[in-house]
């Protein structure tokens, strides 16, 4: 039985989206060149994945100067939000607090990062009240 199309991008699709968020519209060769240092892929492989992403609705494809160029239809912020919400629901039983506590417990954070987290928590508390 074939796997159903995911609402979230796969690892490779996410890498391609990161390229396109920086430099859209881009041709297959431009995407391939941007991916090459970390993930050398054949042109046909990149074309296949881009077309799959277009069918999923992650990208739009237009012809420009005789070649197809691709642009994302989803923003980086919306993608991050959806993937984070999915992680919280699937792994942390819907508890954002559990995710945060796990991150704080498991990650080594420098003073600058801790200050940013305190600032964000204070801002959130002011919006929601005591």
Share of the chain above pLDDT 70, in %: 94
pLDDT digits (tens, 9 = 90+) for 17-69: 999 999 999 999 999 999 999 999 999 999 999 999 999 999 999 999 999 99
Entry pTM: 0.82
Share of the chain above pLDDT 90, in %: 85
Question: Do both 12 and 67 map to the same domain?
Answer: yes
| CATH number of the domain where residue 56 is located | 1.10.10.10
Question: Do both 86 and 100 map to the same domain?
Answer: no
User: Nearest to residue 85, comparing CAs of 3, 20, 8?
Assistant: 8
Give the structural domain span for 104: 95-130
115: Cα separation from own chain's centroid: 26
Question: Do both 112 and 65 map to the same domain?
Answer: no
Question: Do both 85 and 99 map to the same domain?
Answer: no
pLDDT at 107: 87
Question: Do both 80 and 111 map to the same domain?
Answer: no
Question: Do both 81 and 116 map to the same domain?
Answer: no
Question: Do both 27 and 87 map to the same domain?
Answer: yes
């Amino acid at each position: 039985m074939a796997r159903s199309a995911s609402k979230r991008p796969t690892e490779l699709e996410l890498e391609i989206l990161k390229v396109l968020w920086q430099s859209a519209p881009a041709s297959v060769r431009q995407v391939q060149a941007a991916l090459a240092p970390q993930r050398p892929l054949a042109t046909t492989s990149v074309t296949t994945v881009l077309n799959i992403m277009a069918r999923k609705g992650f990208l739009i494809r237009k012809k420009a100067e005789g070649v197809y160029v691709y642009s994302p239809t989803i923003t980086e912020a919306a993608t991050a939000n959806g993937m984070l919400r999915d992680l919280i629901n699937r792994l942390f039983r819907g508890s954002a607090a559990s995710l945060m506590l796990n991150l704080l417990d498991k990650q080594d954070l420098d003073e600058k990062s801790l200050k940013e987290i305190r600032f964000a928590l204070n801002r959130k508390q002011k919006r929601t009240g005591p």
